[in-house]
Amino acid sequence: MGVYLSHPKTEKSSEDGENDRVRYGVSSMQGWRSTMEDAHAAYPNLDNATSFFGVYDGHGGKAVAKFCAKYLHEQVLKSEAYAAGDLGASLQRSFLRMDEMMCGQRGSRELAALGDKMQRVSSMIEGLIWSPRSAEANGPVDDWSSEQDSDYTGPTSGCTACVAVIRDNQLVVANAGDSRCVMSRGGQAYPMSKDHKPDHEHEKERILSAGGYVQFGRVNGSLNLARAIGNSCFSNLLGLYFRCSYHLYSFVYCFGDFR
């Protein structure tokens, strides 16, 4: 059945953790896809005052989602905006930085390694959502110098990103794509993200103005997301739309205790 299985894999993998500020849980299921294409990163101790949680929903392959889970939080830490206390700006820069890092020889090598890694383990393990367990969130951050000696302009696959950063009583959520963040407070659900879909009026106008089109609710009849990390082939079709036109929907809620 191509990229789909004849029967869904319904086994679930779950984990949890906590520190003196937050408790978290993660659960995943592969479903109908032939491989698990999603990844996550959970760092309750991004630094001594901040927690980071990210979900990356891959499409067209698993490598980009795993790349983001491995590196996006590191780029948040490295950002000058983060050091200055601007969490929203640091997230926006880090989303864009993922596309930059996936270009060139080094990006190509890293994506190849991440894409192949799960093919060498059993089908039982294949259903687990991937997370970079061996990484230290507050360890040394690689400068990742750019390599100009390659024609590799990035992956054709991609992923959504939905990231929440918690510092003191401040919660900042940034997203690209249609993975959603919802907060429950006092039994009331609060949407913390806004979908980026091609048939939404504002997104459609942006796609058309960049020289693309929307057909069957998809960008150029293909991708059913208006924004994503990766998908370098669409940067050529739509100018610099995907690669340089992220306007992240960042929501900041300052509650005394939002947990």
Are 117 and 248 in contact, with CB atoms under 8 Å apart? Answer: no
Sign of CA dihedral 135, 141, 147, 153: positive
pLDDT at 255: 36
pLDDT at 140: 57
The per-residue pLDDT string of the chain (259 residues; one tens digit each, 9 = 90 and over) reads 347 889 999 999 999 999 999 999 999 999 998 889 999 999 999 999 999 999 999 999 999 999 999 999 999 999 999 999 999 999 989 998 999 999 988 999 999 999 854 433 333 344 455 566 544 555 555 667 655 557 888 898 999 999 999 998 889 999 999 999 999 888 999 899 989 999 989 888 888 888 888 999 998 898 898 889 998 888 644 333 333 333 333 333 333 344 4
What six digits make up the tokens of 144?
A: 């990742």
pLDDT at 4: 85
Angle at 159 between CA 230 and CA 245, to 5 degrees: 50
pLDDT at 3: 74
- Where does 199-251 have alpha helices with state H? 201-209, 232-237, 241-244
Q: In the CATH scheme, what architecture does the domain 4-133+154-181+250-254 have?
A: 4-Layer Sandwich (3.60)
CA distance 136 to 21: 19
Percent helix, percent strand, percent coil in the chain, to nearest 5: 30, 30, 40
